[in-house]
Structure 1
Amino acid sequence: MHHISSISTTKNSKHKLADNSIIPGKMPPHSAEIEEAVLGALLLQGQRMDEVYTLLPYAHCFYAEAHVHIYDALLRLYKDDRLIDALTVAEELTKTGKLERAGGGLKIAQLMQDVVNAAHLEAHAHIVMEKYLQRELIRAAGDIITEAYAPDADALELLDKAGEHISHIAGNTARSGYVHISTAVMEAMNAMEETAMGGKGVSGLPTGYQGLDRFIYGWQPEDLVILAARPSVGKTAFALNLALNLVTHPDRPGGVGIFSLEMGRRKLINRCIATLSGIPLDKIRRSDLGPAEWQLATQTSNRLAALPIQIDDTGGLTIYELRSKARKMVRKNGVKLLIIDYLQLMQGTDNNRNSNRENEVARISRGLKALAKELQVPIIALSQLNRMVENRKENKNEPFLADLRESGSIEQDADSVLFLYRHDYQSLLPEDYSDHKVYLKIAKNRDGRTGVLSFTSHPATQKFVE
């Protein structure tokens, strides 16, 4: 039996099952009987390709060579919107010179004759897909094993590649189907009832700021939110305020996962202690605390340690590494909100030195949006603004969507874009701990209105107050 990788109808060479990935003496996972049941049902009821196509979009989802050729013919007839039956399939195979390799007319007749119950077509198609996924995982593992044995193998690069392989497999198969409108209506009404029961018009996770909640109705599942600012305006501090607001919320608390690519976890903890206790951050950094402040800091740190916050301060994460860690945070630790500080510090996965950084950032932002949808949690990604904002004195340094740094796709992928800015940015001095006004501009809001909110920033304690 020839392996499916030898068939010219496969989508690309990535689907070849490497010989070194198969354990000697073991056949790759497949079920010839289930494959035959699927093909026989389709030959009898060609119109049911609509049910199967989203599950089995490629001919190489089948294992047996004959089955690959037959399903490839079915796919071509289906895509061309032509009649599908035994005669048209045989004619298509003859036209492409594959009839004999498909087992001939006798094989097609036998497939239809052996159908026991065509009603189980969708369930059988799921099994075929599961076996295909198993084979693809074996192939990917085999490729990594082979490369890992190379004397000059780069282990970190292999980790990235392994994640890319798995994500590629998942991305090509994990597709949700359509639903009847009644299902969508029920989901929407349930969400409306939950919001009404809350009594404050917040359908998502509370931000902790009533003004912001009036614009975005809380952090919404599946949303990618961009929080952007120039350096030293306070985007990390503001993001930590948002995190602490959620985990300490009196009515609807939720766990938070923080990916800090710029700042180490000890510095983050110092900021959190300052915000929760009211002790100036400068005194915490220098450990210059009086007896009462030491007691307060200890009590605050004990309270902080009990909060549902997960922190990863690994620098230079790729989207695949972040995806793997985020899945674990959500599924194992019950995290409801993810914060990434910040987007431009994430690494691309393209090893090509000539790769355009703008394209890399575009892939990262698309990956973050896909991750938010997959995990059904909101993701707040911090981002930098370009220097043009500093020269816009006539608008008092107010940012616009075009100011997002390194990629226009960030604006497209985001459900909401928030800009944090100061009117007096040019006169901002290092270690300036004086209280001042900070503005939050809701520049994009896919599901609501836009506008500007003002906050009082207390840099000494890293706290933002409406």
Structure 2
Amino acid sequence: MSEPLWEPDILPDEQAAPHNLEAEKAVLGSMLFDLAAIDLAERILTGPEDFYELRHQIVYQAITSLYCRDRKPKVDPITVSAELLATGNLTKVGGAAYVHQLVQSVPIMGNAGGYAEIVREHAQLRAVLTATRKATQRVLTAANTASEILEAAMADLQAAAKGVDTVDEKLSVADRWMGFIDELEAGKDPRALDTPWPDLNDIIDLKPGQLITVGAGTGQGKSLFGMNLAGHVALTRGKPALVASMEMGGSELMARLTAAEAGVDVDHLVRRKLEAADWEKVFRAAPKMQNAGNFILDDSPNLTLGKIRARVRWMAATGRSPAILVADYLQLLTPESNGKKEKTRANEVAELSRGLKLLAMEFEIPVVALAQFNRGAVGRQPMVSDFKDSSSIEQDSNVIILMHRPLAEDGTDTGPRAGEIDLIVAKNRNGASGRIVSLAFQGRFARLRSMAG
């Protein structure tokens, strides 16, 4: 009889997690001796939690608190001991004698950076260990599906990687200057993406790290905007794109994408009632669609920021780092559970908005968040204040585009501007705002088209 592949009772025991107490003492001792060592350590370490021993976390917190408090800080064993006494933590660290011992434990003064790197390395190893143990526990308890466990594990590992390779970042003007000159000579930011609408490109760029929020009322075209934009990036520009959809399932997304690319009535595709002429158009679009391995449509249920982050990480791991992320739509994202029951819906949406902005900055990609208007925006030109559930969207967004269809008084698409939709650039942090771009609204083909030829 073959032996089992997995025996839960032989899991590794809770042995001490990776740590180096001597390096921790050396970092703190260096910081107590030299103010320059505090600057260096803070650039390398992410915070007190990088220290394994609790009393070292407390001492680090006291040192940095003193350092930031005054223009000419006095940080030494005596002042830090006084700070610890004032906060009620002196006995927790072993008294003033232990604080003085930290300075004596430094092997070589002037090597604070090396000691801090050792501490940070062990902190990351502990984070990886914690992430893998959590994943193992989820597997053994079968509390979630395999895909959910995998996404959670990837999110945990992404969090463990936070702060990697930040020491050698080039932040000075001198470091940035030649790259900026290259951009000026090129006539545009080479990292920026364009949209499929030339007249809109004259006003905005989609740059890495930006949150672009596109607002509209129910059925007013925000999903068309998102899919058309992502399709342009992936199918026309050949760059990876991710659409995280809380609004529609994969089959409906495919129907809309096919309608836009092939020029087939979306209703024929959704109801599976294709005519011979439709099939010809579908077959002509087939090569492009069959080779769209870089275009990811994530319609997972109950999408959270953590799951979206894990999906971005997965794309990067498979060599398809997304050039753009479209979230459809912001108010349907599931908030992360943090145990707080008193949060209002406005607070939840504010957290989601800020989370998408941080995600854009973390992965250095433009994030396009589609958002819903309040009911009060129906029948009139929308304003930034019309976003549903939260006003923080305006603060977090680099660019805000408001979509408005000039319909007749009875709500029908008739009158002198039938078949048109306005894109109102209400906020543009790097350019002109208040401009309006009119597009052709081709709802039956699930697409928006430029009216400038």
Q: Same fold (TM over 0.5)?
A: yes
Alpha-carbon distance change, 239 to 90 in structure 1, aligned in 2, over 3 angstroms: closer
Aligned twin of 2:446: 462
> Offset at 1:186?
3.0
Alpha-carbon distance change, 148 to 105 in structure 1, aligned in 2, over 3 angstroms: same
Aligned counterparts of 1:103 and 1:64: Cα–Cα separation in 2: 17
Aligned twin of 2:301: 315
Question: Structure 1 regions of 5+ residues with no counterpart?
Answer: 1-21, 392-396
Alpha-carbon distance change, 165 to 185 in structure 1, aligned in 2, over 3 angstroms: same
1:279 and 2:256 aligned: no
Aligned twin of 2:6: none
1:242 and 2:211 aligned: no
8 A contact 1:262–1:315 mirrored in 2: no
* Equivalent residue for 1:294, pick from 268, 279, 284: 279
What fraction of aligned residue pairs are identical, expressed as a percent? 27
Q: SS of the residue aligned with 1:42?
A: helix
Q: SS of the residue aligned with 1:335?
A: coil
8 A contact 2:37–2:110 mirrored in 1: no
Aligned twin of 1:404: 387
8 A contact 1:35–1:62 mirrored in 2: yes
Query: Which amino acid counterpart does residue 304 of structure 1 have in structure 2?
Result: M
1:417 and 2:386 aligned: no
Aligned twin of 1:120: 111
Give the structure-2-normalised TM-score. Answer: 0.81
Question: Structure 2 regions of 5+ residues with no counterpart?
Answer: 1-10
Aligned twin of 1:376: 364
> Offset at 1:305?
2.2
> Offset at 1:145?
6.9
Q: SS of the residue aligned with 2:196?
A: coil
Aligned twin of 1:133: 124
Query: Which amino acid counterpart does residue 36 of structure 2 have in structure 1?
Result: Q
Encode CA deviations 1:297-342: one digit per residue, 9 max, x unaligned.
1231332121231111113211111111122224532321111111
Aligned twin of 1:7: none
Aligned counterparts of 1:438 and 1:105: Cα–Cα separation in 2: 68
> Offset at 1:193?
3.3
Encode CA deviations 1:276-316: one digit per residue, 9 max, x unaligned.
22222223334443434323212313321212311111132
Aligned counterparts of 1:408 and 1:383: Cα–Cα separation in 2: 12
Aligned twin of 1:61: 50
Alpha-carbon distance change, 376 to 70 in structure 1, aligned in 2, over 3 angstroms: closer
Query: Which amino acid counterpart does residue 294 of structure 1 have in structure 2?
Result: W
8 A contact 1:255–1:337 mirrored in 2: yes
Aligned counterparts of 2:247 and 2:85: Cα–Cα separation in 1: 61
1:190 and 2:182 aligned: yes
Alpha-carbon distance change, 256 to 353 in structure 1, aligned in 2, over 3 angstroms: same
1:266 and 2:260 aligned: no
Query: Which amino acid counterpart does residue 74 of structure 1 have in structure 2?
Result: I
Q: SS of the residue aligned with 1:193?
A: helix
1:256 and 2:241 aligned: yes
Alpha-carbon distance change, 456 to 33 in structure 1, aligned in 2, over 3 angstroms: same
8 A contact 2:26–2:103 mirrored in 1: no
Q: SS of the residue aligned with 1:303?
A: helix
Aligned twin of 2:104: 110
Aligned counterparts of 1:65 and 1:410: Cα–Cα separation in 2: 38
Q: SS of the residue aligned with 1:74?
A: helix
Alpha-carbon distance change, 253 to 57 in structure 1, aligned in 2, over 3 angstroms: closer
Aligned counterparts of 1:79 and 1:382: Cα–Cα separation in 2: 40
Query: Which amino acid counterpart does residue 431 of structure 2 have in structure 1?
Result: G
Alpha-carbon distance change, 447 to 268 in structure 1, aligned in 2, over 3 angstroms: same
Q: SS of the residue aligned with 1:215?
A: coil
* Equivalent residue for 1:35, pick from 3, 24, 33: 24
8 A contact 1:389–1:403 mirrored in 2: yes
8 A contact 2:155–2:307 mirrored in 1: no
> How many pairs align?
425
8 A contact 1:437–1:456 mirrored in 2: yes
Alpha-carbon distance change, 25 to 261 in structure 1, aligned in 2, over 3 angstroms: closer
8 A contact 2:62–2:84 mirrored in 1: yes
Q: SS of the residue aligned with 1:444?
A: strand
Aligned counterparts of 2:282 and 2:111: Cα–Cα separation in 1: 64
Query: Which amino acid counterpart does residue 365 of structure 1 have in structure 2?
Result: S
Query: Which amino acid counterpart does residue 212 of structure 1 have in structure 2?
Result: L
Aligned counterparts of 1:338 and 1:377: Cα–Cα separation in 2: 7
Give the structure-1-normalised TM-score. Answer: 0.79
Query: Which amino acid counterpart does residue 205 of structure 1 have in structure 2?
Result: L
8 A contact 1:224–1:414 mirrored in 2: yes
Aligned twin of 1:231: 218
Alpha-carbon distance change, 122 to 278 in structure 1, aligned in 2, over 3 angstroms: same
